[in-house]
Amino acid sequence: MAIAAVLIAYLIGSVSFAVLVSRVMKLPDPRTYGSNNPGATNVLRTGRKSAAVLTLLGDCAKGWLAVFLAEKYFDAALPPTDIVALVAVAVVIGHMYPLFHRFQGGKGVATALGVLLGLNLWVGLGAAATWVIIAVFLRISSLAALIAGVSAPVYCIMFYGLHPYSLASGVIAALLLWRHKTNIKNLLAGTESRIGARRA
C-alpha cells in the first residue's frame, strides 16, 4: 500500500496546471517563453493574472490532495506519518518531473506549499507568510521561494521536533534549491527578474 500511495502521489503531481490552464485559455505553452518554467510566476508574464491564479491554486491543491488522501485512505505496515512523509515528497517530485509532460515540470513551490498546508496548517501558513513578506519587499519570486522553502523545515521542527514531516520538508527544501539552481546563479549575479516583469 505504501508503494501505491507514493505512485498515486507522483501521478497527481505530474498534472501540470500551468500547461492545462494555458491550453484552456489559449495561451502559449509556459515551457516556451520567459523562464520556460511551467509555474504560476511564468504564466503571469503573459499578463493574464487569472491564468496565473488558477495555476497557483491548482498546483497548490494537488499537493494538499496527495497528503489528504494518504492520511485518510492508505494504511500499511509503515507508520502513517512515514507514508504521508513519502507521499509529500513524491507529489513534489511528480510536479518537478511529470510523467504526463515529458518530465518537463515546474520548480515545485506551489505544490510544496499545498503539501505543507496538508501536513500542518500553521507550518504551511508560516511558509506562505515568509514568501509574501520577501516577495512584497524585494519583488523577487525565486528568492521568496528559496527562503520560504528553507524556512519550512525549521517550522516543522518547531512543531514536531525530529519527525518524518520535518525530514520530508527538509528533502522538499533541498529539491527546491536544486530546481532553483539557475535562479541562484542569477541572484548572485544580480540579474534575476522581478515579479511582474515580462520577458520576450
User: pLDDT for 28-45, tens place per residue?
Assistant: 988 888 778 898 888 988
The alpha carbons of the chain give a radius of gyration, in whole angstroms, of 16
Q: Contacts for 152-157 with beta carbons within 8 Å, 24 or more apart?
A: 152/112, 152/116, 152/123, 152/126, 152/127, 155/122, 155/123, 155/126, 155/127, 156/119, 156/120, 156/123
pTM: 0.90
- Cα separation, 133 vs 180, in Å, equals 19
Residue 124 or 31, more confident: 124
- Of the chain, the percentage scoring pLDDT greater than 70 comes to 95
Q: What is the mean pLDDT of the chain?
A: 90
Whether residue 200 is predicted with pLDDT greater than 60 in this model: the reply is: no
Q: What is the pLDDT of residue 76?
A: 63
Q: What is the pLDDT of residue 88?
A: 96
User: pLDDT for 130-186, tens place per residue?
Assistant: 999 999 999 898 899 999 999 999 999 999 999 999 999 999 999 999 999 999 999
Q: What is the mean pLDDT of residues 93-103?
A: 92
